[in-house]
Amino acid sequence: MKEIEVPDIVVSRLPLYLRTLEFLAMEGREITSSAELAERLGLNPAQIRKDLSYFGSFGQQGRGYSVKGLIEALRQILNLEREWEVALVGVGDLGRALVHYQGFKDKGFRLALLFDNNPQKIGMKIGGLEIMDSALIPKLIPERGIKIAIIAVPPQEAQKVADVLVSAGVEAILNYAPVNLKVPPHVKVHYIDPVVGLRHMTYYLPRPQQ
Amino acid sequence: MKEIEVPDIVVSRLPLYLRTLEFLAMEGREITSSAELAERLGLNPAQIRKDLSYFGSFGQQGRGYSVKGLIEALRQILNLEREWEVALVGVGDLGRALVHYQGFKDKGFRLALLFDNNPQKIGMKIGGLEIMDSALIPKLIPERGIKIAIIAVPPQEAQKVADVLVSAGVEAILNYAPVNLKVPPHVKVHYIDPVVGLRHMTYYLPRPQQ
């Protein structure tokens, strides 16, 4: 039901707002403000108000936002009113960490299929799920109607895996491999790259004396 | 040597530009443009030019940017002309994955100290590094002058670990635990949160029929 095209840079900030609101809710807070959200996120309050204004009118002048109300609105905007099943490809150290990750719970996502191409891993159970042969991606992903996958394979295998996932109907890929994936325009890729975060922070660290 | 205050939102985009330029360099490309960078990143070319203009004049009208030149400039801006030693706290599945991560190489970072509080892990070697007792953080981090740490411990331990790291002199924390850390204002925290990336992408996925 999107009527105007919202810039992706705006969309990219909404999950940060939602996460911060969820932290506030866990702290028992009922009301917040663009100023408080901005401070917690290192952003500008005017930008937060402008971003939200793409989607309607939230909160009341001088009274702030209802934490619960804004959480509900953002979940609706971000298409999180259903739970999304996610396929994970690559059950190495990182894959295992993701299977046990406590951050997916109640956030709208559930790992539903695990794949690996290592015969010694196929058939093993982890976190209540059986590790399936990656060769079954083209069969199982369309059967389950899964649209989201996480790539946690070695970098040299990532593009090949992405190609198979896209052919199987995946439209959103969370990529942990440190390589740039080529995908068709209808497929979104989000990179999880610790180096990006580290390099953001080094800007603020002491510089060598000149 | 910063003369004007650059908004953090601008700084946060520079590592993305740098990563994209490094991908282009790996592809053997010598020249690029704000249009090409924008397309690869899903951003606006004018915004990229404006972001870079905070730091000087790069590229020539109509000729684009030298990939190598802009990489060097961004590495200098982001304080990456030295290699940074990084401490990792928590050598579970995720910690092990980070020790073996191939993305730090040549990117300005080197894992230098590993800590865990599990007596069965302390003293073990992984990736050429011995796992040290977390109780030694207050001694070893100042001795090595380490300013950057990665938190890969369970969520309920993350704040306690952050407190110890900050007391030991750490000023930049990459946090994998799905909790909001409270730190003093001089300390930067970057969150690695797969849910943020997933929720960005669900915006674009098909919505339930109304």
Nearest Cβ partner for B109 among A171, A195, A208:
A195
- Cβ-defined contact of B14 to A200 (cutoff 8 Å): yes
Q: What is the CATH number of domain B84-195?
A: 3.40.50.720
Tell me which chain A residues have a C-beta less than 8 angstroms from the C-beta of B109.
195, 198
Q: Would you identify the CATH topology of the domain A8-77?
A: Arc Repressor Mutant, subunit A (1.10.10)
The domains of chain A are located at 8-77, 84-195
Instruction: Please tell me the predicted confidence (pLDDT) of residue A59.
Output: 74
Q: Does A185 touch chain B (CB under 8 A)?
A: no
Tell me which chain A residues have a C-beta less than 8 angstroms from the C-beta of B210.
1
Span B97-118, mean pLDDT? 93
List all residues of chain A from 91 to 130 with a beta carbon under 8 Å from chain B. 92-94, 96-98, 100-104, 107-109
The per-residue pLDDT of chain A, averaged, comes to: 93
Contact between B198 and A172 under an 8 Å Cβ cutoff? The reply is yes
Q: Does B4 touch chain A (CB under 8 A)?
A: no
The model's confidence at residue A41, banded by pLDDT at 50, 70 and 90, is: confident
Q: Which chain A residue lies closest to B102 (C-alpha atoms)?
A: A178
Task: State the Cα–Cα distance between residues A75 and B120, nearest whole angstrom.
Answer: 42
Portion of chain B with pLDDT greater than 70, in percent: 97
Span B57-75, mean pLDDT? 88
Whether the domain at A8-77 and the domain at A84-195 fall into the same CATH topology: no
The model's confidence at residue B210, banded by pLDDT at 50, 70 and 90, is: low
Tens of pLDDT, residue by residue over A143-179, are: 999 999 999 999 999 999 999 999 999 999 999 998 8
Instruction: Please tell me the predicted confidence (pLDDT) of residue A40.
Output: 85
Task: State the Cα–Cα distance between residues B72 and B93, nearest whole angstrom.
Answer: 35
Instruction: Please tell me the predicted confidence (pLDDT) of residue A210.
Output: 57
Task: State the Cα–Cα distance between residues A58 and A177, nearest whole angstrom.
Answer: 38
A123, A124, A126, A174: which is closest to A146 by C-alpha?
A174
List all residues of chain B from 43 to 72 with a beta carbon under 8 Å from chain A. 43-44, 47
- Is the pLDDT confidence value at A55 over 90? yes
Tens of pLDDT, residue by residue over B145-163, are: 999 999 999 999 999 999 9
* ipTM (interface pTM): 0.93
Task: State the Cα–Cα distance between residues A204 and B185, nearest whole angstrom.
Answer: 12
User: What residues contact A101, with CB distance under 8 A and at least 6 apart?
Assistant: B178, B194
Contact between A59 and A105 under an 8 Å Cβ cutoff? The reply is no
Span A28-33, mean pLDDT? 95
Q: Could you give the C-alpha distances from A37 to A45, A202, B161, in angstroms and in order?
A: 7, 24, 25
Nearest Cβ partner for B15 among A80, A109, A200:
A200
- Is the pLDDT confidence value at B122 over 80? yes
